[in-house]
Structure 1
Amino acid sequence: MKLLLKPLHVVYIIYAVIVFLAIMFLILPPIFVASFFGRVKGGNIIFYFLRFWSHTWFPAVGIRVKRIYKHDRKDKTPYLFVVNHRSYLDAALAVQVMRLPFRPLGKIEMKKIPFFGFIYKQSVVLVDRKDAKARSRSVREMIAVLKEGVSILIFPEGTTNHTDQPLQPFHNGAFRIAIETQTPIQPVLYLDNGDRLHAQGFNLNPGRCRVVYLPPVPVAGLTMDDLPTLKQQVFDIMERELKASV
């Protein structure tokens, strides 16, 4: 049976890639125009096109997205979203399910990809983890974005989790920025992305993608002395929910 299904799976993956690229080329011209409106206004416009991309591609390839809210959805406060990172699908899902406006923190290497790299560069806060000065510029840009009322999304593990543990240790960056700007943290979990698209290799599968929005963690009044405690608190909240969702 597996031998019979394998050719069908290959056809499915080819189809998914073609649809992905077709939508990308469709939205590339308006994104190019929007890029002239500046990093904030233009970036917000770009995300509406990216949301169209995601809302079209996911159902086209048989992936069902389900949102699960464990907090009051009426709050419009800018947040620093922290999300677990299991799959390359995480970024595509984020533009569909995260509340606008927001900007993710993204690896600078991705901007080198032809065509996609242009869209990527216009829609994320780029970070070069190998360059200390570049990291500092990224932090300043994120702080400036938050002051404009735009939320930030960070994967605090820093890289895709290839382990058998629910989470990898968190880096300090997200929590430092949250304290410095007094921006509440909202933990968000992508529960099924690792099953839909494995972190190693392009092995896409149809099915469900659950997104869990956990209650925000306030940071009002916290100082840098509280950073380790805050980081551990958010880690424990996310790990506990991940283990309960297995």
Structure 2
Amino acid sequence: MELWPGLWTLLLLLLLLPTLWFCSPSAKYFFKMAFYNGWILFLAVLAIPVCAVRGRNVENMKILRLMLLHIKYLYGIRVEVRGAHHFPPSQPYVVVSNHQSSLDLLGMMEVLPGRCVPIAKRELLWAGSAGLACWLAGVIFIDRKRTGDAISVMSEVAQTLLTQDVRVWVFPEGTRNHNGSMLPFKRGAFHLAVQAQVPIVPIVMSSYQDFYCKKERRFTSGRCQVRVLPPVPTEGLTPDDVPALADTVRHSMLTVFREISTDGRGGGDYLKKPGGVGEAQL
């Protein structure tokens, strides 16, 4: 029986993929990342009609969280949360967290408090089903390239925090940092907290370097510790206090990052390598 050329191609791919999976760590990395992103897009398709019943509402974030919590099991990643009792029980606040990769979503979903939504770059809004699901869940989008618009959005968020009892999650580094440290913090989140006179709750995720490294194309199973730090009050502070506030919070987060990334639960030896969070860099 003669096979069509397209069928031969399919058969070759079916034979080649398992070989690449077992023989090439780089291929395994790309397969895992492709499935990670594709699976999130698929879950978003399922979430959209459920969330659409309410329309755009922060309560829809519970639906997204419920649908995403299982992903860590697919990749053999154990997420350990400590300090969750530090979340203020019944008031608005601003969460600030370090930002390492798209895998931050796993730690975020593990610890995400009620009525809390991330502030994300506007480009995410156009990310297909994921963008629509995020919009329905109340995610706040800002255009970082247009400073005036970003400031305006932050002012509106400050009012929303107080009038609708909403919490927001901000990555103050502004972009993903794969280098095992923390970039300098942008001050928007701190201006927001001071303007609304609400606490800042720092959250630190340990280094992923023992199981994930984009540069080395490595993605295995491992552990990540998420540490919630005590809230930092902003009552009585003014915009003039923001630079010192941002520096103080970053210093405390970086100290904890070093601690939890060298206790055998994430990052460990990487932090001792050149380019890691070694003493020479601090």
TM-score after normalising by structure 2: 0.74
Aligned partner letter, 1:120: C
Aligned length: 240
* 1:55 maps to 2:69: yes
Map of 1:179 onto structure 2 = 194
* Cross-structure match for 2:124: 110
1:242 Cα shift? 1.7
CA distance in 2, matches of 1:27, 1:113: 11
Q: Could you tell me which of 62, 85, 98 is aligned with 2:112?
A: 98
Q: What is the DSSP-based 3-state SS (H/G/I as helix, E as strand, rest coil) of the residue aligned with 2:227?
A: strand
1:239 maps to which residue? 254
Q: CA offset at residue 146 of structure 1?
A: 1.1
Is 1:156 aligned to 2:159, yes or no? no
CA distance in structure 2 between the aligned counterparts of 1:18 and 1:241, rounded to whole angstroms: 32
Matches for 1:1-246 after TM superposition, within 5 Å: 5-7=22-24, 10=27, 14=31, 17-18=34-35, 21-22=38-39, 24-26=41-43, 28-35=45-52, 37-39=54-56, 42-45=57-60, 47-69=61-83, 72=86, 75-123=89-137, 124-147=139-162, 148-163=164-179, 166-198=181-213, 203-245=218-260, 246=262
Q: Is the 8 A contact 2:142 2:153 kept in 1?
A: yes
After TM superposition, give the deviation of residue 89 of structure 1 in Å.
Answer: 1.0
TM-fit CA distance, 1:196:
4.1
Answer with 1 or 2: which has the greater Rg: 2
Greater shift, 153-162 or 197-206, is seen at: 197-206
Change (3 A) 1:108 1:6: farther
SS in 1 for 2:145: coil
Shift of 1:127: 1.2
TM-score (norm 1): 0.83
Structure 1 residue 236, shift from structure 2 partner:
1.4
How far off its partner does 1:173 sit?
0.5
Equivalent residue letter for 2:191:
R
Amino acid at match of 2:238: T
Q: Percent same amino acid at aligned positions? A: 30
Q: Which moved more, 1:204-213 or 1:20-29?
A: 20-29
Structure 2 gap ranges (5+): 1-19, 263-282
Q: Which amino acid aligns with 2:223?
A: R
Q: CA RMSD in A?
A: 2.8
Q: Counterparts of 2:21 and 2:115 in 1: how far apart (Å)?
A: 45
Partner-residue secondary structure (3-state), 1:168: coil
Q: CA deviation at 1:18?
A: 3.9
Q: Deviations over 1:5-49 (max 9, x none)?
A: 54477457636744764564345344334245343xx2312x122
Aligned residues of 1:88 and 1:197 also touching (Cα < 8 A): no
Relative distance call for 1:66 and 1:37 in structure 2 (3 A) is: same
| Mean CA deviation greater in 173-182 or 94-103 | 94-103
CA distance in 2, matches of 1:244, 1:65: 16
Deviation, 1:95, is 2.5
Q: What is the rounded CA distance, in whole Å, between the counterparts of 1:73 and 1:132 in structure 2? A: 30
Once structures 1 and 2 are overlaid, which stretch shifts more, 21-30 or 204-213? 21-30
Give, in whole Å, the separation in 2 of the partners of 1:52 and 1:36: 17
Q: CA deviation at 1:185?
A: 0.4
- Alpha-carbon distance in 1 for matches of 2:217, 2:58: 29
Displacement of 1:217 after TM fit? 0.5
Q: Shift in Å at residue 120 of structure 1? A: 3.0
C-alpha distance in 1 between matches for 2:126 and 2:210: 27
